[in-house]
Amino acid sequence: MPKQAKLTQGSTLKHVSIMSFTGALGLMAMFLVDLVDMLFLSMLDEREAVAAVGFASTIMFFTVSISIAVSIAATALVARAIGEGDYELAKRRATNVLGIGVIFSSMVVWFLWPKIPDLLMFLGANLRTLDLATSYLQILLLGMPAVMVGMIASGIMRALGDARRAMYATLVCSVINAVLDPILIFVFGLGVDGAAIASLLARFSMVAVSYYGVVTVHRMLGQFDLVESVKDLKPIAKIAVPAMLTNMSSPLANAIVMGYAAQFGDHAVAGIAIVGRIIPVVFGGLFALSGAVGPILAQNYGAGHFQRMHNAMTSAVVYALGYCILLCSTLYMSQHFLITIFNATDDTAHLIRFFATYGSFSFFFQSLLFIAIAVFNNLGRPLSSTLLNFGRATIGTWPLIVFFGWIMGAEGIILGQAIGSVIFGCVGFVMARRYLNKLEQKDALRKPEVTSTPLYSSTP
């Protein structure tokens, strides 16, 4: 077995912790840069500039979701081949996913670029805001192939267990973006265009770092053959398409929540918006959990180490519980500081207190859903991830926030979301456990030497 199959050995808790922590650092760096980006643009004293980026971000979220989905497919397919000990298959899949990703992302750019003004007008942008948003998006969209390459390359490195270099790619991108932002926005006086150019250059830097890791360090890139790549198109699409739909469920849930919060007035909307900015910073370590557990499961599935796969799920739960106890307790003790720094008053402050005191603890159960998503995405049933996430975003959100909002007011929105996370987290985790047991039974039946031994011989 090639040396890259490092996730099939050693402590699963250690692997989960390292993979999650490095992934979380990268995610939180990106979230932080986004906040700094908006802060710099707000200093221009031009309200339309901030609004323009807001409109453009809606479309960019769609393009980034495509890149994330393809990178999930890359991680699952490469990690499984590495676990099987088939290094050449892993290399072929890495090459083909990168090649197909570049072709597909270039086609998306070609299709969307001339339609940018129409899309922005459909979202509600007009006049000066429309002009700024169009210019910003036209620059940034050109970097979509770079984002695709960077994310796929990072996914390949995670599949190999090299979470450190995958993190470096995201950190370098974030640092360069943060450094170039004030220079291009203020020193060169480019305003919104400067912010777009800074982000574009930063994305190319991510390509350089991640490409170096894949090609030079791990030697995982062969010669791309378009005809040969068709062999891997079906398995790539089988994972990537449901993963992309899964990513779309989060903005759907946010839209439902914000739309209902508006009925309680501006204070409720502000409170929900502030909570929405707190969540990715505080719980980044949980958002990275799915991407951390996935390669561990895939490598061990390829190697046929089912007990390690069960251990990996248990280790992920232990990690999530410890993380939530620590961060939720810190959040509870920091609620007065948060209210002060956001200048929150009245109902806005009450919502922040309610989330910090009660709602935040539901993220442990949401982490169970993240673990289930990793199981389904990496072990051949990605559609289940899509159904679970859309279920949480719809029937796990709207009826509950309406019911508890009717009883409790704006605080009921947070409670409804929390209860939805508890329900779908538990359901998803149980489904994932059963699916893993089913795969283990099928694997045992395929092995003649195992069929002669009772499958549950170790059970009391």
* 432 to 122, 203, 371, 378, 425: CA distances (angstroms): 39, 35, 8, 11, 11
Q: Is residue 460 part of a domain?
A: no
Same domain for 140 and 249, yes or no, is no
Same domain for 263 and 191, yes or no, is no
In the chain, the largest separation of any two C-alpha atoms, in whole Å, equals: 75
pLDDT at 4 exceeding the cut of 70: no
pLDDT at 428 exceeding the cut of 80: yes
- What does the alpha-carbon distance between residue 383 and residue 11 come to, in Å, rounded to a whole number? 30
- What does the alpha-carbon distance between residue 5 and residue 160 come to, in Å, rounded to a whole number? 7
Q: pLDDT value at position 38?
A: 67
Same domain for 361 and 310, yes or no, is yes
Q: Is residue 271 part of a domain?
A: yes
Q: pLDDT value at position 460?
A: 34
Q: Is residue 190 part of a domain?
A: yes
Backbone phi, psi, residue 409, to 5°:
85, -150
- What does the alpha-carbon distance between residue 145 and residue 151 come to, in Å, rounded to a whole number? 10
Q: pLDDT value at position 452?
A: 42
CB 204 within 8 A of CB 143: yes
Q: pLDDT value at position 432?
A: 96
Same domain for 153 and 272, yes or no, is no
Backbone phi, psi, residue 453, to 5°:
-105, 135
Closest to 91 measured CA to CA, from 147, 151, 156, 149: 156
- What does the alpha-carbon distance between residue 400 and residue 407 come to, in Å, rounded to a whole number? 11
Model pTM score: 0.81
pLDDT at 414 exceeding the cut of 70: yes
Residue 459: helix, strand or coil by DSSP? Answer: coil
Higher-confidence residue of 35 and 189: namely: 189
| Class of residue 46 by CB neighbours under 10 A (exposed 0-12, middle 13-18, buried 19+) | middle
Backbone phi, psi, residue 265, to 5°:
100, 175
Average pLDDT over residues 52-81: 83
Average pLDDT over residues 2-12: 72
Residue 219: helix, strand or coil by DSSP? Answer: coil
Same domain for 302 and 213, yes or no, is no
DSSP 409: T
Same domain for 43 and 167, yes or no, is yes
Same domain for 23 and 64, yes or no, is yes
Same domain for 277 and 164, yes or no, is no
Q: Which of 224, 258, 290 is the last residue of a domain?
A: 224
* Residue type present at position 330: T
Q: Using a CB cutoff of 8 Å and minimum separation of 24, what contacts does 262-267 make?
A: 263/405, 264/347, 264/405, 264/409, 264/410, 264/413, 265/347, 267/345, 267/346, 267/347, 267/348, 267/351, 267/410
- What does the alpha-carbon distance between residue 117 and residue 404 come to, in Å, rounded to a whole number? 40
Instruction: Give the range among 90-94, 145-149, 264-268, 359-363 with minimum mean pLDDT.
Output: 264-268
Same domain for 216 and 302, yes or no, is no
- What does the alpha-carbon distance between residue 231 and residue 74 come to, in Å, rounded to a whole number? 14
Same domain for 363 and 311, yes or no, is yes
Q: Is residue 371 part of a domain?
A: yes
The tens digit of pLDDT for each residue in 196-207 reads: 899 889 888 888
Q: Which of 169, 193, 224 is the last residue of a domain?
A: 224
Higher-confidence residue of 458 and 59: namely: 59
* Residue type present at position 442: K
Q: Which of 162, 189, 224 is the last residue of a domain?
A: 224
- What does the alpha-carbon distance between residue 433 and residue 208 come to, in Å, rounded to a whole number? 39
Average pLDDT over residues 264-270: 79
pLDDT at 92 exceeding the cut of 50: yes
Q: Is residue 456 part of a domain?
A: no
The tens digit of pLDDT for each residue in 319-376 reads: 999 999 999 999 999 988 888 877 777 788 889 899 999 999 999 999 999 999 999 9
CB 176 within 8 A of CB 205: yes
Same domain for 364 and 269, yes or no, is yes
| Mean predicted lDDT score pLDDT of the chain | 85
Q: Is residue 445 part of a domain?
A: yes
Q: pLDDT value at position 434?
A: 96
Q: How many domains does the structure of the chain reveal?
A: 2
Average pLDDT over residues 283-302: 86
pLDDT at 13 exceeding the cut of 70: yes
Vertex 51 angle, CA 46 and 56, to 5°? 130
Same domain for 147 and 255, yes or no, is no
- pLDDT tier for residue 2 given thresholds of 50, 70 and 90: very low
Q: Is residue 238 part of a domain?
A: no
- Cα dihedral 60/66/69/74 (nearest 10): -120
Instruction: Give the range among 214-218, 247-251, 385-389 with minimum mean pLDDT.
Output: 247-251
Instruction: Give the range among 40-49, 64-73, 144-153, 442-451 with minimum mean pLDDT.
Output: 442-451
| Class of residue 193 by CB neighbours under 10 A (exposed 0-12, middle 13-18, buried 19+) | middle
Q: pLDDT value at position 124?
A: 76
Q: pLDDT value at position 191?
A: 87
Range of the domain at 9: 1-224
- What does the alpha-carbon distance between residue 413 and residue 431 come to, in Å, rounded to a whole number? 27
pLDDT at 57 exceeding the cut of 50: yes
Q: pLDDT value at position 122?
A: 81
Q: Is residue 288 part of a domain?
A: yes
Q: pLDDT value at position 35?
A: 65
- pLDDT tier for residue 448 given thresholds of 50, 70 and 90: low
